[in-house]
Amino acid sequence: MKFHGIAVVFCPLLVLADFTPDRSVMSDAYWAIWNDDVQARIDADIERFRKADFSVGIEAPDGTEVEVVQLTHDFRFGAHVFNYNQLGSKERNDRHKALYDPECGLFNSGTVAFYWRTLEPCPYAPRFEERDEDTEAFWNACPDPKGQPHWRRPPPEPVIAFLKSKGCRVHGHPLVWSKNCWHTPSWLWDDFCPPSEKAALEGAAGVEIPRRDPSVPVGAKDSRDNGRDDLWAKPWKTAYGKLGEEGIARLAPSYIAALSEHNERRIREIAARFGGRVDSWDVVNESARDYEWQFGGKAVRGRPFDASRNGPMPADYAFKAFKWAGEYLPPATRLYINDFHMAEGYVRQVLDLAAAGARIDAVGMQMHLFNPAECENIAKGLGPEHLRPEKIAGLFEMLSRAGRPIHLSEVTISAPEATPRGEMIQAIVLRNLYRAWFAVEAMEGITWWNVVDGCGAKGEPAISGLFTRDMRPKAAYFAMDDLVNREWKTRLVARVKDGRVTFRGFRGTYRLSWKGGSLLVNP
């Protein structure tokens, strides 16, 4: 049958399709931007940077036909797994899990939630293992999933075990982040700043810093867990302005010491448990603006602690995070920095941290189109400058100056509306952007953020998924599947010559089959 320009064939868990863009939903101005010359340049760069020439020895007579089928990609196509078993029914959960299959699914990499605030809601009691309230049965019967404190925050142990069983790469996110409302536990201030220090600091600064509501059980969701970082950032900003870092350190020395102690402890404990099973980590998240604006462009400053834009952090927190991660995690684990700050300052931060001795293996960049109106404007040819083809090339050329591979770590492309037209606009924008990003020489992976509609965090759009909330595949899913599993997978027939098969294809694992034999190779 036909579905908005898509020929659909159903299989038990996933839907296979050939994606046909409906060009009429986009304006002539849009297609003038993404014209045939641009598409030809993208194709040429994909051919140049994503493919390689392979030669494989075959024990078969010359002239034997060999079927060459690519099974998996070396390039990392990922998505987060924050809604593991949380979608409300076994059918939905199974369809969601089937996406994370490097051979027949969509993703070969999964980003696992390690947000400190919900991973360790009580000090020294991290939620590594699955509990009753994390099971599929709990979520299937839950009348208000978004009201639960662990919504989008499954314990990492079962998620990692699942990804490993599928042969997926595992990416942890994040180890260190200055955001109070999403990451830093409130118990750091509540429990590790003595009452005398709280009173002295708040009295001297004339502020009141939020603390636990005694009527709410520790670890339960309370009014502070609502994405309003200003509840912390504003009073701390006032305190910085009145007292300075030296004054705060003098008035609350126990708290300042606890910041560093617990950040290091967290990394040490996570490394001891997951170090050999998590392939890479976002060691530091969203620190570039602190580096560029708060810290004067210096990675190491020798201050008592860091006055981050979001709240207090250990001294030189980005540098120390990489130092701790490098010390406690296995050498083979890849260490990433991650940010949304698309500026030269981010590149300078990476180079400065590295010059100070931090091991940074890859640079992560977020790319969120959270506002549905942005995609509507893109369809009209009025979209953000940084998403035009020539600007994409310039942005990643700038990031490449850091001298490290690039991970497009968090991608959101919203549909402008929940209609067939809106879904097709989302799909076409996705297709062209993914093609442009895939063509970047330094790019090593692209990670989609919210796979399912209505499963984002507060402030993230409800219609940015590849699937509707009930796991109906949208046009965006078919567009991505068409790229990952058809356009960018090599399938051909070659002949043996001089005992070898030679071919050009996308980098990855291949099955070579001929009469009388077969071979699995990653040339």
pLDDT at 492: 98
Exposure b/e, 386-400, CB count within 10 A at least 16 = b: ebbbeebbebbeebb
pLDDT at 523: 80
Say how far apart CA 511 and CA 449 lie, in whole Å. Answer: 31
Assign 3-class secondary structure to 341-392.
CCCHHHHHHHHHHHHCCCCCCEEEEEEEECCHHHHHHHHCCCCCHHHCHHHH
- Contact (Cβ atoms closer than 8 angstroms) between residue 396 and residue 443: yes
- Distance of CA 113 to CAs 80, 337, 390, Å? 8, 16, 34
Which two tokens mark 384?
A: 């953000």
Which two tokens mark 411?
A: 């991608």
Say how far apart CA 254 and CA 244 lie, in whole Å. Answer: 17
| Other beta carbons within 10 Å of 319 | 24
**H or E, element range at 196:** helix 195-205
pLDDT at 61: 95
| Other beta carbons within 10 Å of 255 | 20
Phi, psi of 63 (to 5 degrees): 95, -10
Residue among 118, 107, 104, 105 nearest 81 (CA): 107
Q: Which residue has the tokens 């300052």?
A: 345
Residue among 370, 516, 496, 392 nearest 61 (CA): 496
Which two tokens mark 390?
A: 């020539």
Which two tokens mark 231?
A: 């509840």
- Contact (Cβ atoms closer than 8 angstroms) between residue 99 and residue 244: no
Assign 3-class secondary structure to 235-304.
HHHHHHHHHHHHHHHHHCHHHHHHHHHHHHHHHHHHHHHHCCCCCEEEEEECCHHHHHHHCCCCCCCCCC
pLDDT at 220: 55
pLDDT in tens, the chain (523 residues): 233 443 333 445 666 668 999 999 999 999 999 999 999 999 999 999 999 999 999 999 999 999 999 999 999 999 999 999 999 999 999 999 999 999 989 999 999 999 999 999 999 999 999 999 999 999 999 999 999 999 999 999 999 999 999 999 999 999 999 998 889 998 999 999 999 999 999 999 999 998 877 666 555 555 555 555 668 888 999 999 999 999 999 999 999 999 999 999 999 999 999 999 999 999 999 999 999 998 999 999 988 999 898 889 999 999 999 999 999 999 999 999 999 999 999 999 999 999 999 999 999 999 999 999 999 999 999 988 889 999 999 999 999 999 999 999 999 999 999 999 999 999 999 999 999 999 999 999 999 999 999 999 988 889 999 999 999 999 999 999 999 999 999 999 999 999 999 999 999 999 999 999 999 999 8
Q: Which residue has the tokens 């063509």?
A: 439
Dihedral of the alpha carbons of 26, 430, 285, 331, in degrees to the nearest 10: -160
- Distance of CA 5 to CAs 22, 319, 424, 434, 479, Å? 6, 50, 9, 19, 11
Which two tokens mark 339?
A: 């940010």
Say how far apart CA 438 and CA 422 lie, in whole Å. Answer: 24
Which two tokens mark 57?
A: 């020895």
Say how far apart CA 81 and CA 86 lie, in whole Å. Answer: 10
Q: Can you state the percent helix, strand and coil of the chain, rounding each to 5?
A: 40, 20, 40
| Other beta carbons within 10 Å of 269 | 15
pLDDT at 229: 60
Query: What is residue 13's three-state secondary structure?
Result: coil
- Distance of CA 96 to CAs 177, 257, 396, 482, Å? 28, 43, 31, 18
pLDDT tens, residue by residue, 70-107: 999 999 999 999 999 999 999 999 999 999 999 989 99
pTM: 0.94
CA 480 to chain centre: 17
